[in-house]
Amino acid sequence: MFLFPGIGISQEKPQPFFVFLNTNPDRDSLPKSVVQKLQEGHMANIERLAEAGSLIGAGPFHNGGGIFIMRGDSLNEIHNLLATDPAIGANRFLIEVFPVTLEYGGICDAPDEYTMTSYQFVRFRPKSDVKESSGEQDWQAVPDHFQRKDSLIAVGRFEQGSGGFAVFDKQDSTSLKQKIAPGSKSLPSGYSVEFKRLWIARETFCVPEK
């Protein structure tokens, strides 16, 4: 279980990684039977990685693409694990991999019997180079602004100024766009935002026991 540092508990190792599986617009046009076989292999590999303990959670985004939350000791290890996915190997996705530092909330292994749910996923993208030192101060504004009055589940910062994410429960994108607007206290400076619906096991994002 990865716990947020805000209550004085350090993140356990190995490191959590977010993997964005972006639908490749230039993917080859393949027969339906081939696409189905790749998808079956993709799902089977997800199960294998989960059973091996390398995959914490996975789910699709509404309107395409998806996300893996993985654990590993290095970026190289994560890329080697992703290479076992036949859909990734066939260039069906454009992959982005980021080590994550949690600022609020937690990431947990889903139990054998889990409940799928839909979350509002907000991705913060840097507009330009953001120094990691200034980014750390900016990221504190997100949980400080939201946790007492909104359904904030988790906030994480991608390492080396690569942006971050926030997960909200029972929030529509219109409401969030009004609250996470340029110049607002809840938007780290130097970032733009992207809103997506994420379908994932509810237990993936968790709160540490007191």
Domain holding 91, by residue range, is 5-206
Least confident stretch, 33-42, 94-103, 123-132, 140-149: 140-149
Residue 13, helix vs strand vs coil: coil
| CA distances for 163 relative to 21, 27, 122, 129, angstroms | 16, 26, 11, 10
Q: Higher pLDDT residue, 77 or 159?
A: 77
What distance in Å separates the CA atoms of residue 103 and residue 139, rounded to the nearest whole number? 7
Could you give the number of structural domains in the chain? Answer: 1
Integer-rounded Cα radius of gyration of the chain: 17
Task: Give me the pLDDT at residue 114, please.
Answer: 87
Task: Give me the pLDDT at residue 184, please.
Answer: 67
Q: Higher pLDDT residue, 142 or 17?
A: 17
- Whole-model pTM: value is 0.85
Phi first, then psi: what are they for 97, rounded to 5°?
-125, 130
Query: Any idea what the CATH number is for the domain that residue 122 is in?
Result: 3.30.70.1060
Q: Which residue shows structure tokens 């260039």? A: 91
Tell the burial category of 184 from Cβ atoms under 10 Å away from its Cβ (0-12, 13-18, 19+).
exposed
Tell the burial category of 149 from Cβ atoms under 10 Å away from its Cβ (0-12, 13-18, 19+).
exposed
Q: Which residue shows structure tokens 């993140």? A: 11
Instruction: Give the residue-averaged pLDDT of 110-128.
Output: 87
